[in-house]
Structure 1
Amino acid sequence: MAEEISSKVFEAHPMNGGDGPNSYAKNSIYQRRVVDIAKELMNKAILEKLDIDMSNTFYIADLGCSVGPNTFYSVENILETVRSKYQIQGQKSQISEFQVFFNDHAENDFNMLFKSLPQNRQYFAVGVPGSFHDRLFPNASIHIVHCSYAIQWLSRVPEAVVDSSSSAWNKGRIHYSNSTDEVIRAYETQCSEDMECFLHSRAQEIVYGGLIILTIPGRPDGTPHSLSQANMTLQFLGSCLMDMAEKGDVSEEKVDSFNIPMYTMSPQELKAAVERNGCFSIEIMSELPHQSITNTISLSQLLASHLRAGMEGIVKQHFGEDIIDELFDLYQNKCEENASIFKLGKSLSFLAVLRRIAD
């Protein structure tokens, strides 16, 4: 099994590390608000749906943790709710310790993560490098898996979309959402395969009665991919790169060979994946209320800063560092120019809580 796991290769595109002005740590306000909004539903799920044989140590895994601070808020909330659950049941004494596994790709800035760990934390912390599309933990070892705003990343770009001889070649675009039906199907297939791997791996790792808690940037059921606000942000980025290609700042061939491995799922697609897997029951599938973040900066500034924190690494890897400032300046301008179009898009964040059931 260990050899099988280590032989698999996954694309890794970590968020910006460190704590500088363009870091993920300083530009993940929106993701933090989603965690806050989901908190009440998540607590309810833990209190009512977690059904495990207790041991002295409780094991929590946060998948796609990045560099903080959002992962620490989530973990602390889970820990406090688990304590409350067993205190209510008169079993508090059965939990003596908590172990938290922080997972992300090996290229993640784990140094920043560990430097930022809360000093007063009441758990043991471990870093676990690796893709969550594969096995990460021993059989039946985890009680709660949490994954927030990370499952939209695919394990890889579908091969066909960068193959110039394929009918799914995504020439002139960097994403599937405003592309041909062939490209869309290639991304849909990749997402389906990745979710199969994700759920299969978690089914082996989570104890019976344990939970997977997912917060997902998605699109409403039935909404065309091109009308998803999350997808529109990537369409604008692709448009900026094509503008730069027309000016000669980047080569058009470079743009043609660049695709972002990200897919915006609908609740129905997740439900279908869970049903195909057959190892989990869906305890909660709920749309989260939309919340505005702040009025101190414009929407275009917020979009540009958040997208740069998440995408700078993958752009730099493909195009080099020299274009970064110009690209995201263009992107902010593009968002301002297309604000009315962007507002016509459909936005959705949803919470899914899955419980491991007997085979």
Structure 2
Amino acid sequence: MEMEVEKINISAEAHPMTGGDGLYSYTKNSDYQRSVIHASREMICEEISKKLDIKPISSTSYPFRIADLGCSVGPNTFFAVQNIIAAVENKLQIEGLSSSGIPEFHVFFNDHVSNDFNTLFASLPAGRLYFTAGVPGSFYGRLFPAASLDFVHSSYALQWLSMVPKEVTDKNSPAYNKGKIYYASASEEVIQAYSTQFSKDIGTFLSARAKEIVCGGMMVLIMPAIPNGTPVSESTGGILYDLLGSCFMDMAKMGLTDEAKVDSFNLPMYLVSPREIEDLVERNGYFSIERLEQITNLTTPDVQTGTMHLRAAMQGIIGKHFGSEIIDQLFDRFSEKLADQSSYIFNARHERVTQLLVVLKRKLTD
């Protein structure tokens, strides 16, 4: 099997979360993502306990290296890292290997160069028992030397595509997505363009990580998803992004923004199903799937929380395309529409959306 990815810092679009620690920041508006990290903690600990090849890393002669890809600005990344370290230490004790010494831990925080690393490192836990480093760049390419990582974590990052599919903004393409900002209720050609881009991105991501993770090392991926067989147009994410798109079109009709700008704007996000991700991992061939779990028993957000979370994630990419002056009015309008439909969107939410936990292990041979 031949690796396809050798490029370092491959070109990819950046979609940083809102930095700082202000009212609309990701720091203040990522409780939902944090709840998924907490909900998956025991499952990850269980897989580390059962599946991680621990003997090669029991010595204190070199550190156990962890990378969090798409770390954003915290604090969620710190919770995820601490959970992993605690699980590894517990594994060492269970295996009777802690007497030879607990390895030092080296944690690499990765995100795009435009990420607010200043806020991230200013808020590092004071009592942390690990060394840190920042690694800027897209994870749709090589980031680390070969066989240099023992464990990789990525939460709420892989739903972001490396780029908007070119066809959806091409007026001469059958996949031209006029009047919409997402693929949820679009034509089959648009849906296929998004699916194809996601497949390419995941293949690139897995091949890059296969170079960087030691044989027997592990990787945990957490991402928003849709249940098998659920059309994205019926998923909560699809409905919310279509609702946001309708706000753009309302503002265009009122002359508050340019309709041509709306036509040329598409969200570079994809909601995968468990069956899709399973097929893509198996097609790539470098990792075995140790666990594929859907997390659904989460607290339903209210209208204000849902709006603030979406704004923290989206206002950067929206402001870059439309200008920051429309942000307040856009999300005020979105909040009003969401309130009108909240009983429908949120009450049946558990049936149309899921959070996906994927635990992978690097195969010993290619």
TM-score normalised to the size of structure 1? Answer: 0.96
Question: Which one of 98, 106, 111 corresponds to residue 105 of structure 2?
Answer: 98
1:273-322: per-residue Cα shift (whole Å, max 9, x none)? 1111111111000111321157xxxx211111000000000000000011
Give SS of 1:313's match. Answer: helix
1:58-85: per-residue Cα shift (whole Å, max 9, x none)? 0000011000000000001100110110
After superposition, the CA RMSD in angstroms is: 1.5
Residues 178 and 235, structure 1, Cα contact 8 Å, conserved in 2: yes
Give SS of 1:322's match. Answer: helix
Equivalent-residue separation in structure 1 for 2:207 and 2:102 (angstroms) = 28
Q: Percent same amino acid at aligned positions?
A: 52
Q: Does 1:117 align with 2:124?
A: yes
Amino acid at match of 1:279: Y
Cα shift at 1:94 = 4.3
Equivalent-residue separation in structure 2 for 1:88 and 1:122 (angstroms) = 20
What is the number of equivalent residue pairs in this alignment?
A: 354
Which residue in 2 is equivalent to 1:51? 53
1:239-292: per-residue Cα shift (whole Å, max 9, x none)? 100010010000100000000100000011110111111111110001113211
Which residue in 1 is equivalent to 2:328? 325
Which residue in 1 is equivalent to 2:295? 288
Amino acid at match of 2:338: C
Q: Does 1:312 align with 2:315?
A: yes
Equivalent-residue separation in structure 1 for 2:5 and 2:187 (angstroms) = 39
Amino acid at match of 1:327: L
Amino acid at match of 1:72: F
Q: Does 1:126 align with 2:129?
A: no
Which residue in 1 is equivalent to 2:31? 29
1:160-208: per-residue Cα shift (whole Å, max 9, x none)? 0011111100000000111000000000000000000010001111011
Cα shift at 1:340 = 3.5
Residues 135 and 143, structure 2, Cα contact 8 Å, conserved in 1: yes
Write out the 4+ residue segments of structure 1 that deviate beyond 4 Å after TM superposition: none
Question: Which one of 136, 141, 147 corresponds to residue 140 of structure 1?
Answer: 147
Q: Does 1:162 align with 2:169?
A: yes
Question: Which one of 235, 238, 241 corresponds to residue 228 of structure 1?
Answer: 235
Which residue in 1 is equivalent to 2:247? 240
Which residue in 2 is equivalent to 1:171? 178
Equivalent-residue separation in structure 2 for 1:95 and 1:154 (angstroms) = 38
Equivalent-residue separation in structure 2 for 1:68 and 1:4 (angstroms) = 28
Which residue in 2 is equivalent to 1:16? 18
Question: Which one of 62, 65, 80 corresponds to residue 74 of structure 1?
Answer: 80
Question: Which one of 214, 217, 224 corresponds to residue 217 of structure 1?
Answer: 224
Amino acid at match of 2:72: S
Cα shift at 1:4 = 3.4
Question: Which one of 337, 347, 358 corresponds to residue 340 of structure 2?
Answer: 337
Indicate the larger mover: 46-55 or 205-214. Answer: 46-55
Amino acid at match of 1:42: I
Q: Does 1:250 align with 2:257?
A: yes
